[in-house]
Amino acid sequence: MKVGIMGGTFDPIHFGHLATAESVREIFKLDEILFIPSARPPHKVERQITPELHRLMMTFLATKSNEFFQVSPMEFLRDGLSYTLDTMTELTKKYGAGTELFFIIGADSMADLSKWYKARELLSKAHFIATNRPNVEVNLEALKEFFGASAMKHIHQVSTPGLEISSTDIREKIKSGKSIKYLVPEVVEEYIIKERLYL
């Protein structure tokens, strides 16, 4: 089995995440995509993140119309910072050795993969698929230098339909009273309005 993992803060989840996941699923022929909202991302400790229940709910709502998309609250069930390595270790146990894991990340995140917690061990457990984000180039040479040539078979790059959407932009739009229509699924927009998020 081939399982894709889409990790993120999803604060809120938007069409950039969804379209990217769907396109990677087809290109890599993945059996399913697991959306895993991050509880306490080590690189976002300085920002106030929306309570996890809201982020989880929005992720459920956004993905429910796609039979290949699943959501896992596993990072909320662990204490401490949310390290991807712990998540991969847990997933390897859950799915067994016959399953290959494909972690989907934006080119912005791939660019500093070497700074992730126990990066070399992490790369040995899963494939990493970098998807394009505006104005970011992944420096494959730098990654090769850090991880070594043989590890590069776990690093992939794909070009997906680039949607220039970010959660930061969406939060700012809401704060300044602007529309977020066509940036997030309608069910997510309705949830944000009902719960008065990001005001």
**Residues at the interface with ligand ATP (CB under 6 A):** 8-11, 16-17, 20, 105-106, 108-109, 131, 133, 163, 165-168
Rounded least distance, CB 190 to ligand ATP, Å = 20
Rounded least distance, CB 40 to ligand ATP, Å = 13
150 vs 179 by CB, closer to ligand ATP: 179
The C-alpha atoms of residue 31 and residue 49 are separated, in whole angstroms, by 31
6 vs 147 by CB, closer to ligand ATP: 6
Give the up-direction half-sphere exposure of residue 20: CA atoms within 13 A in the CB hemisphere: 30
Rounded least distance, CB 137 to ligand ATP, Å = 14
Rounded least distance, CB 16 to ligand ATP, Å = 2
**The tokens of 33 are what?**
């995509």
106 vs 185 by CB, closer to ligand ATP: 106
Region of 3 (left: φ > 0; alpha: ψ -120 to 50; beta: rest) is: beta
Closest residue to ligand ATP, based on beta-carbon distance: 106
**The tokens of 41 are what?**
């991302």
| φ/ψ (deg, to 5) at 14 | -140, 175
Rounded least distance, CB 96 to ligand ATP, Å = 26
Name the DSSP letter for residue 66: -
The C-alpha atoms of residue 147 and residue 139 are separated, in whole angstroms, by 12
Query: What Å distances lie between residue 157 and 8, 52, 148, 180, CA to CA?
Result: 18, 30, 17, 29
Rounded least distance, CB 98 to ligand ATP, Å = 26
163 vs 187 by CB, closer to ligand ATP: 163
Cis peptide before 42 (omega within 30 of 0): no
The C-alpha atoms of residue 30 and residue 70 are separated, in whole angstroms, by 13
98 vs 111 by CB, closer to ligand ATP: 111
The C-alpha atoms of residue 12 and residue 111 are separated, in whole angstroms, by 23
103 vs 147 by CB, closer to ligand ATP: 103
